[in-house]
């Protein structure tokens, strides 16, 4: 498969406020927040990948870098093997047509004074995809594609429900006939029934149009429904990546397992396995950044910083002691059971 996006050891550091004064006459140094800390990711053409993690893990920052909206502090982002920060005018125009973004705040991303007809006609006219006289028909086609009636065209964003406004955001993303859709928390905060309708719509459109999808969500359930691959992020790093099926059946990073257990499921008592909250990325701890919340952390975990390592197949994990599974044969077929304590896999780590 052709690689469409390559994120190569990307770092993103922000300066935030001033730290404590080291001495009476010493100036206060600016504090550095590492929003992304060595992220490496490849997205193949036609693939669908979910970036999953708690709020503050760096998902939106990674997406802003992939869209070229911000520059990386270090490392590079390539789109079809070209650095997105060195595009010439023509490549930039092609990129903005090829790669559509669905914003986290769909309503806020639309001009409240523009009717939906104009919201959808704008990208069509901007990219020269139709004339002004053809725009009305193209807008109606787009509305139909996302399951909205024609009368929506004459409404303002404020007159639409949460689900309808997200459908308009999908229609606007499709207007320029993109190859890639990047969506940030596009179904978060909706009623479950509306969320399910939107997920079905996105899945159908991606399949029919052969789109590549990068979908940001804090919800592993949503990720598993929509995407073939999952990358789990924690404090500016990818800590586990692999096929959705592998990750959901046999998570190898304790954080992934914690995320899965934290989801309420019908008829199952909730075991809140993730203690506390994601720490601040300003003063990162020594060793593994997840150690403070990991129920399996050992002394080594507080000293060594694990590197994202491939298992030789399709999975990458950043853990000194990833979870392992042993097959136990039961009546009716084989079932995999997580061993109680994690067993060391050739640890790859750096002391910090």
Ligand X SMILES: Nc1ncnc2c1ncn2[C@@H]1O[C@H](COP(=O)(O)OP(=O)(O)O)[C@@H](O)[C@H]1O
Q: Does 309 bind ligand X (CB under 6 A)?
A: no
Task: Give the residue nearest to Mg ion (CB).
Answer: 60
What is the distance between the alpha carbons of residues 69 and 125, in angstroms, rounded to a whole number? 22
156 binds ligand X (CB under 6 A): no
Q: Contact region for ligand X (CB under 6 A) — 39-47, 54-62, 132-140, 311-319?
A: 54-62
CA distance 216 to 222: 10
Query: What is the C-alpha R_g of the chain?
Result: 22
- Whichever of 55 and 161 has its CB closer to ligand X, that residue is 55
Q: Is residue 60 a contact point for ligand X (CB under 6 A)? A: yes
Provide the sign of the torsion angle of the four alpha carbons 255, 256, 258, 263, taken in this order: positive
Q: Binder to ligand X among 38, 59, 146, 240 (CB under 6 A)?
A: 59
User: In the complex, which residues of this chain contact Mg ion (CB under 5 A)?
Assistant: 60
Min. distance of Cβ 36 from ligand X in angstroms? Answer: 8
Burial of residue 113, with CB atoms counted within 10 A of its CB: 0-12 exposed, 13-18 middle, 19 or more buried: exposed
Q: Nearer Cβ to Mg ion, position 60 or 109?
A: 60
Nearer to ligand X, 211 or 278 (CB): 278
Handedness of CA 328, 333, 337, 343 (dihedral sign): positive
Q: Which of the listed partners (Mg ion, ligand X, none) does 339 bind, with a CB threshold of 5 to 8 Å by partner kind?
A: none
User: Of 281 and 287, which has the nearer Cβ to ligand X?
Assistant: 281
Residue 309: which of ligand X, Mg ion, none does it interact with, CB under 5 to 8 A by kind?
Answer: none
Tokens of 349: 């780590």
Q: Are the beta carbons of 306 and 318 closer than 8 angstroms?
A: yes
Judged by beta carbon, residue 10 or residue 146, the one nearer ligand X is: 10
Identify whether the C-beta of residue 40 lies closer than 8 Å to the C-beta of residue 74. no
> How far apart are CB 35 and Mg ion at their closest, in Å?
11
| Cβ proximity to ligand X, 60 vs 73, nearer residue | 60
* Cα-Cα end-to-end distance for the chain: 36
Residue 237 in the binding site for ligand X (CB under 6 A)? no
Q: Please tell me the distance from the alpha carbon of residue 120 to that of residue 229, in angstroms, as a whole number.
A: 31
257 binds ligand X (CB under 6 A): no
Q: Is 14 in the site for ligand X (CB under 6 A)?
A: yes
**Residue 58 contact partner, candidates Mg ion, ligand X, none, CB within 5 to 8 A by sort of partner:** ligand X
Q: Is 33 in the site for ligand X (CB under 6 A)?
A: yes
Is there a contact between 34 and 57 (Cβ–Cβ < 8 Å)?
no
Residue 56 binds which of Mg ion, ligand X, none (CB < 5-8 A, kind-dependent): ligand X
* 342 binding ligand X? (CB under 6 A): no
- Which one, 255 or 321, has the nearer CB to ligand X? 255
Task: Count interface residues toward ligand X (CB under 6 A).
Answer: 13
Residue with structure tokens 């689900």?
Answer: 163
Strands (DSSP E) contained in 3-106 are: 3-18, 30-44, 48-52, 74-79, 82-83, 99-102
List 132's β-bridge partners, or say none: none
Q: How far apart are CA 54 and CA 263, in angstroms?
A: 12
- Least distance (Å) between residue 205 CB and ligand X: 24
d(C-alpha 304, C-alpha 3), whole Å:
32
- Looking from the CA of 253 toward its CB, the CA atoms found within 13 Å total 33
163 binds ligand X (CB under 6 A): no
Site string for ligand X, 273-302 (x = CB under 6 A): --------x---------------------
Kindly list the distances between the CA atom of residue 330 and the CA atoms of 10, 245, 327, 333, in Å, as whole numbers in the listed order: 45, 21, 9, 6
- Minimum distance between the CB of residue 106 and ligand X, rounded to whole angstroms? 16
Binding site residues, ligand X, CB under 6 A:
14, 16, 33, 35, 53, 55-61, 281
């Amino acid at each position: 498969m052709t690689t469409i996006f390559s994120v190569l050891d990307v770092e993103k550091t922000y300066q935030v406020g001033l730290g404590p004064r080291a001495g009476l006459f010493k100036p206060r140094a600016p504090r550095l927040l590492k929003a992304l800390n060595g992220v490496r990711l490849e997205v193949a053409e036609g693939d669908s990948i979910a970036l999953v993690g708690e709020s503050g893990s760096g998902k939106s920052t990674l997406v802003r870098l992939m869209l070229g909206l911000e520059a990386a502090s270090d490392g590079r982002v390539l789109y079809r093997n070209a650095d997105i920060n060195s595009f010439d005018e023509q490549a930039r125009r092609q990129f903005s047509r090829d790669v559509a973004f669905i914003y986290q705040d769909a309503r806020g991303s639309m001009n409240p004074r523009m009717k939906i007809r104009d919201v959808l006609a704008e990208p069509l006219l901007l990219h020269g995809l139709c004339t002004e006289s053809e725009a009305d028909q193209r807008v109606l086609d787009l509305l139909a594609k996302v399951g909205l009636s024609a009368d929506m065209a004459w409404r303002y964003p404020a007159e639409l429900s949460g689900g309808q406004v997200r459908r308009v955001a999908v229609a606007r993303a499709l207007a320029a006939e993109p190859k890639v859709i990047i969506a940030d928390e596009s179904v978060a905060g909706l009623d479950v029934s509306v969320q399910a309708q939107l997920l079905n719509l996105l899945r159908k459109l991606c399949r029919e149009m052969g789109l590549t999808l990068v979908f940001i969500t804090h919800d592993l359930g949503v990720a598993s429904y929509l995407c073939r691959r999952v990358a789990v992020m924690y404090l500016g790093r990818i800590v586990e990546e692999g096929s959705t099926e592998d990750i959901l059946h046999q998570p190898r990073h304790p954080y992934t397992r914690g995320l899965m257990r934290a989801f309420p499921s019908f008829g199952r008592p909730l075991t809140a396995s993730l203690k506390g909250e994601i720490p601040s990325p300003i003063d990162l701890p020594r060793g593994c950044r997840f150690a403070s919340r990991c129920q399996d952390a050992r002394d080594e975990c507080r000293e060594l910083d694990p590197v994202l390592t491939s298992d030789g197949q399709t999975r990458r994990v950043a853990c000194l002691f990833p979870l392992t599974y042993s097959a136990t044969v039961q009546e009716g077929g084989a079932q995999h059971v997580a061993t109680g304590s994690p067993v060391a896999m050739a640890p790859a780590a750096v002391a910090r």
